[in-house]
Amino acid sequence: MNRIKDSGADGVALQVTKAVRAAGMVEETDDGDITRRADVRVFAFDGVLLVIDLDHVSTGEIAELVAAAANDTKSIYRAADSKPQRAGNGFQVQLPPAKDAGFDVSDRAGTHFTPGVVVITKGDGPRAKAASRLGADLVSLRQAQIQ
């Protein structure tokens, strides 16, 4: 698990290299040159951030994922646009609504991912187990959408 980090004036971010590569949110040449960085939207729920690739997930599929997360957590906060960014040897994603979802700098955060979707779950505190379960459920829902 990585930790939420302060990213200066941009707010907070999470290192998500493996997740965004596997979700197809970034593409690189064999030399490491970036050929695509997805436009993503980050949705916030209690203990969960849902990062969606706007080019590869339809509006209807987004609505289904957001409704499932809101129903499970009995919460929904703001959503904000973002983009994966090069950070060191990998990638991070800015998380504008992270504080709304209860994330603070240095909190541990897990990731669940599938094509077009990365779910970031709070790794500490009383809701951690429920958040992780929801992350896995949202990945399963997304996998059913793309079959």
pLDDT in tens, 47-98: 999 999 999 999 999 999 999 999 999 999 999 999 999 988 899 999 999 9
Query: Parallel, antiparallel, or unpaired: how do β-strands 90-94 and 34-37 relate?
Result: unpaired
Which residues, 6 or more positions from 59, have their beta carbon under 8 angstroms from its beta carbon?
none
Cα radius of gyration (the chain):
14
What average pLDDT is seen over the chain? 93
How long a stretch of residues is the chain? 147
Q: What are phi and psi of 48, to 5 degrees?
A: -140, 135
Determine if the pTM surpasses 0.85.
yes
